[in-house]
A and B are shown apart, each in its own frame.
Chain A
């Protein structure tokens, strides 16, 4: 049997939901915590397809600046306003948007407690809280240090414009140093797109400058494609050092603008971008949702917490390997989590889980690359479907006449992805 969109919506409207003690009381309450790629996508999907659910979205900020495309702001190819959105249209569609700081989750009492002391009760909570930076994991790197050595990794904490201004002000022929963390972290290809977009800027405005990327691991997402492109587009400008070449940064010295590696080398930078190690946001850790790793284990068929009942954890905060911590992945988790929550609230079986991700990266003008993955829940685990997915073909695998066109199309499609997913999340289409 094929379920068309119409029958699904109709079914959701007509199916009996949980019997409620108070008779004529309101619809089952789904509360979504966090209005990023996971949370906003969850709210939109729930509102479109499950009219019998009451949907509340708690998000502290009135405006949301995306992490994706922040690197294009760094390159000067996008403005911060181009990547900043509001929640008005989601609200106009019937999502109750609460702009407040969530202080804690009361899992026993099934309510979110806000900073002002008020409580928002839920039948199911969808948590999409994102990440926190592990201040102090790199010695000397705390919030104060991040003003001088920006991370540019959590837009609500520090807009990418802070790093962009430092890049613009860098002396001619200066050195842009990056410290990149070990896995897992938000947006696995992000640091390498950042290297590329900084190089794109420098090539045009500061061509004698260099980029030194110090990495705490030995390999990275889409590595051959990035490194081919760097050699092709920015010859001699970029040096990338992995962990086995003493790339792990263990300490920073803000006063002297140096970073220190595992084996004690001190490296001076004119601009220093430190992307520190990360973990799930505090509200999730404090609610007992996280494992010792600091990330939140989930049941792969529904993204329900493996630890706390009636809570789903989606997006970067969850442990969803082999899926990457990406915005697209978060939106994929979101839809399954909403469908699963709706099914469970009405006593129906959870639909089969098929998840999807595509991460595009811009590496230069009209030059885009991608990684794709299709994932399924199988035997209590998330697995990538064999034979599917993978990265764009390398130059050698593309006919010569097709290479430039392939890269140009992927850059164009990256822009299309960004437009489509943000329009969906913020209900602009």
Chain B
């Protein structure tokens, strides 16, 4: 039932004409999953990202990576490709 209501709300939102929909978190998360795993559980020293941070912590971590204020191998280079709105969508997807 909850799903149904969510879907109806989404359909209403989608009814407005739009050139392209903002990328849903499931698609954005595809980038994360390639290394952090399909469930975000991490692998071989790659940290778990699912349910390990609050949404605020997740966004803060990404912003620090983007600003080169947090030590990283690849995450700084990755974070500079995304917007704050996308960080927020990913935080909602992965955060607790």
Point out residues on A near B: beta carbons under 8 Å.
1-11, 13-15, 44-45, 49, 301, 328, 331-332, 335-336, 339, 343, 348-354, 356, 358, 370, 372-374, 385, 387-390, 392, 406, 409-410, 412-413, 415-417, 419-421, 423-424, 429
A389 and B22 form a contact (CB under 8 A)? no
Among candidates A6, A49, A331, A412, residue contacting B44 with C-beta atoms closer than 8 Å: A412
> In the assembled complex, which residues on chain A have CB atoms less than 8 Å from the CB atom of B31?
332, 354, 356, 374
Q: Does B64 belong to the interface (CB within 8 Å)?
A: no
Docked pose: A330 CA to B7 CA in angstroms: 30
Among candidates A351, A356, A406, A410, residue contacting B21 with C-beta atoms closer than 8 Å: A351
B81 and A385 form a contact (CB under 8 A)? yes
- Among residues of A, the one whose C-beta sits closest to the C-beta of B71 is A402
**Which chain B residues in 34-82 approach chain A with CB under 8 Å?**
34-39, 41-46, 73-74, 77-82
Q: Apart from A416-B43, A417-B43, what 19 extra A-B contacts exist at CB < 8 Å? A: A3-B25, A4-B92, A5-B29, A44-B38, A335-B30, A339-B27, A348-B21, A350-B21, A354-B28, A374-B78, A374-B80, A389-B77, A390-B77, A409-B45, A412-B44, A417-B35, A420-B36, A420-B38, A424-B33
Which residue, of A328, A349, A373, has the highest number of chain B Cβ atoms within 10 A? Answer: A349
- Among residues of A, the one whose C-beta sits closest to the C-beta of B29 is A5
B40 to chain A minimum Cβ distance, whole angstroms, is: 10
Docked pose: A350 CA to B27 CA in angstroms: 12
Docked pose: A349 CA to B43 CA in angstroms: 35
B77 and A388 form a contact (CB under 8 A)? yes
> In the assembled complex, which residues on chain A have CB atoms less than 8 Å from the CB atom of B36?
420
> In the assembled complex, which residues on chain A have CB atoms less than 8 Å from the CB atom of B89?
2-3
Docked pose: A406 CA to B14 CA in angstroms: 45
Docked pose: A350 CA to B14 CA in angstroms: 11
A14 and B37 form a contact (CB under 8 A)? no
13 A-B residue pairs with Cβ-Cβ distance under 8 Å, sorted by A, are: A4-B93, A5-B26, A10-B4, A10-B7, A353-B23, A354-B27, A370-B73, A374-B81, A388-B82, A389-B81, A392-B74, A416-B42, A417-B34
Docked pose: A13 CA to B88 CA in angstroms: 25
> In the assembled complex, which residues on chain B have CB atoms less than 8 Å from the CB atom of A415?
43-45
How many chain B residues touch A (Cβ–Cβ < 8 Å)?
A: 50
Which residue, of B10, B29, B38, has the highest number of chain A Cβ atoms within 10 A? Answer: B38
Among candidates A3, A332, A348, A372, residue contacting B26 with C-beta atoms closer than 8 Å: A3
Docked pose: A358 CA to B20 CA in angstroms: 25
B38 and A424 form a contact (CB under 8 A)? yes
> In the assembled complex, which residues on chain A have CB atoms less than 8 Å from the CB atom of B29?
5
**A419 with B43: in contact, given A331-B34, A385-B81 (CB under 8 Å)?**
yes
Which 6 pairs show the lowest CB-CB distances between chains A and B?
A: A374-B81, A388-B81, A10-B3, A356-B31, A416-B44, A14-B7
> In the assembled complex, which residues on chain A have CB atoms less than 8 Å from the CB atom of B74?
358, 370, 372, 392, 410, 413
A397 to chain B minimum Cβ distance, whole angstroms, is: 12
A410 and B3 form a contact (CB under 8 A)? no
Docked pose: A406 CA to B75 CA in angstroms: 13
> In the assembled complex, which residues on chain B have CB atoms less than 8 Å from the CB atom of A1?
13, 22
A42 to chain B minimum Cβ distance, whole angstroms, is: 11
> In the assembled complex, which residues on chain A have CB atoms less than 8 Å from the CB atom of B8?
14
A420 and B43 form a contact (CB under 8 A)? yes
B36 to chain A minimum Cβ distance, whole angstroms, is: 7
Docked pose: A18 CA to B34 CA in angstroms: 31
B68 to chain A minimum Cβ distance, whole angstroms, is: 11
A77 to chain B minimum Cβ distance, whole angstroms, is: 14
Among candidates B14, B25, B37, residue contacting A429 with C-beta atoms closer than 8 Å: B37
Docked pose: A301 CA to B28 CA in angstroms: 14
B78 and A7 form a contact (CB under 8 A)? no
Which residue, of B3, B26, B36, B93, has the highest number of chain A Cβ atoms within 10 A? Answer: B26
> In the assembled complex, which residues on chain B have CB atoms less than 8 Å from the CB atom of A301?
20
> In the assembled complex, which residues on chain B have CB atoms less than 8 Å from the CB atom of A5?
25-26, 29, 93
**A352 with B20: in contact, given A14-B4, A49-B26, A421-B34 (CB under 8 Å)?**
yes
- Among residues of A, the one whose C-beta sits closest to the C-beta of B20 is A352
Among candidates A4, A15, A354, A374, residue contacting B7 with C-beta atoms closer than 8 Å: A15
Docked pose: A227 CA to B34 CA in angstroms: 27
Which residue, of B13, B37, B81, has the highest number of chain A Cβ atoms within 10 A? Answer: B81
> In the assembled complex, which residues on chain B have CB atoms less than 8 Å from the CB atom of A13?
3, 7
Docked pose: A374 CA to B81 CA in angstroms: 5
- Among residues of B, the one whose C-beta sits closest to the C-beta of A2 is B92
**A413 with B25: in contact, given A350-B20, A351-B20, A358-B74 (CB under 8 Å)?**
no
> In the assembled complex, which residues on chain A have CB atoms less than 8 Å from the CB atom of B19?
349
Docked pose: A350 CA to B39 CA in angstroms: 25
B73 and A351 form a contact (CB under 8 A)? no
Docked pose: A123 CA to B28 CA in angstroms: 26
